[in-house]
Amino acid sequence: MSSATPSLRLSQLQMDWLRPARARLLRIAGIGGATTVLDLGCGWGLTTADLAERSEVNVVGMDISPTMVENARANLPERLRDRVQFVQNSPDSIELPDRSVDIVFTQCAMMWMADVPSVLSECQRVLKPNGRLAMIEPDYGGMMEWPETICTREIWIDCLVRAGADPMIGRKLAVHLNELGWEHEVYFLDRYEAGLAEAIEFLAELDTTEQQRQQLLLAQKLMTEGSRAQPAHVVHLPFWMYVARHG
């Protein structure tokens, strides 16, 4: 497993946190009328299975990591096996025919793609006429934290950049889409939950420096002091949600 894919436990947490956002985005993208959906950068395949559970669609989960493709196949519930398949792709090509997909979905995956414009061009190629690209991607540059002693934002940005990700992908996708001629609508995650101490565990899976580890221990201590009902801290990570169409 590379740092691009969190552990199974954390991926499950992320999947649960983003469930309401995913439901809203996929409703707007019209998953009800879709027959084929691509989950690009599927990791463990949790979102792929979730897409299949939501409707009667056929879903292709795709990832550049052969290990993750194997893991995703092994994790897939038996009842979904006739409608879900997992395929490995190369960094900037999607192993599907032209005009074969109704919706391309990504969750926390564009941020790990080295050449986003090429990937968007591939999305355009595989989408059917009137196909939709639905993306949920974070923007760590907009992370809000309080009190001041909780200061993980700069650590996130540093660790993600060093791991090869783009921590500010959320805002940048709008520019990439505009440049490539996509029409798009943007939504934001409109549900707030007090930042959970588990968020720090995501960071621990990245390569942190000794000084960063000390800062995180302090933040973790502060975060566990409050309760979920009355948190002693606030941490909010904005997620950008896009529904895009190419003329």
Chain residues that interact with ligand SAM, rule: CB under 6 A: 4-6, 11, 14-15, 40-43, 46-47, 62-65, 68, 89, 91, 107-109, 112-113, 119
By beta-carbon proximity to ligand SAM, the closer residue of 34 and 165 is 165
Exposed/middle/buried for residue 50 (C-beta within 10 Å: 0-12, 13-18, 19+): buried
The distance of closest approach from Cβ of residue 204 to ligand SAM in the complex, given in angstroms and rounded to an integer, is 15
The CB density around residue 69, as the number of other CB atoms within 10 Å, is 21
Q: Are 167 and 157 in contact (CB under 8 A)?
A: yes
The distance of closest approach from Cβ of residue 147 to ligand SAM in the complex, given in angstroms and rounded to an integer, is 29
By beta-carbon proximity to ligand SAM, the closer residue of 112 and 239 is 112
The distance of closest approach from Cβ of residue 42 to ligand SAM in the complex, given in angstroms and rounded to an integer, is 5
By beta-carbon proximity to ligand SAM, the closer residue of 119 and 150 is 119
- In angstroms, the CA 37 to CA 55 distance is 10
Beta-bridge mates of residue 105: 39, 134
By beta-carbon proximity to ligand SAM, the closer residue of 150 and 239 is 239
Query: How many residues does this entry show for the chain?
Result: 247
Token digits for 47?
């979102």
Nearest to 46 by CA among 79, 20, 68: 68
By beta-carbon proximity to ligand SAM, the closer residue of 25 and 109 is 109
The distance of closest approach from Cβ of residue 148 to ligand SAM in the complex, given in angstroms and rounded to an integer, is 29
The distance of closest approach from Cβ of residue 164 to ligand SAM in the complex, given in angstroms and rounded to an integer, is 9
